[in-house]
Amino acid sequence: MSIEMKTLTIDDTTYEVVDDTARKTIEEMIENGAGQPGADGKDGVSVTHSWNGTTLTVTSASGTSSTNLKGDTGATGAQGIGITKITITEV
């Protein structure tokens, strides 16, 4: 089975569509404007987080998870050139 992709360009934006039915549906939606708003969804469950040093703990509806986000110490950088004076001149 092969799926033929087609494109639909509206106001310089190109959309890829699978078939003419999808293209016609997109054109109708744009032509007719937005539909009626849907019903409100269920209230979500809050997500909380806390830090303890470099450990992040996240609690949500699926449980609590913690991880230490401290990485390995990086390599020492190159020696600086020792700038001793900076002058700022207004233009």
Measure the CA–CA gap between 25 and 19, rounded to whole angstroms: 10
DSSP-assigned beta bridge partners for residue 67: 56
> Which tops the pLDDT comparison, 64 or 91?
64
pLDDT for 84: 79
Q: Residues 19-41, buried b or exposed e (16+ Cβ, 10 A)?
A: eeeebeeeeeeeeeeeeeeeeee
Q: In the prediction, which pLDDT does 2 show?
A: 58
Full-model pTM: 0.38
pLDDT in tens, 2-37: 556 677 777 777 777 666 666 666 667 767 766 677
Res. 66: pLDDT tops 90: yes
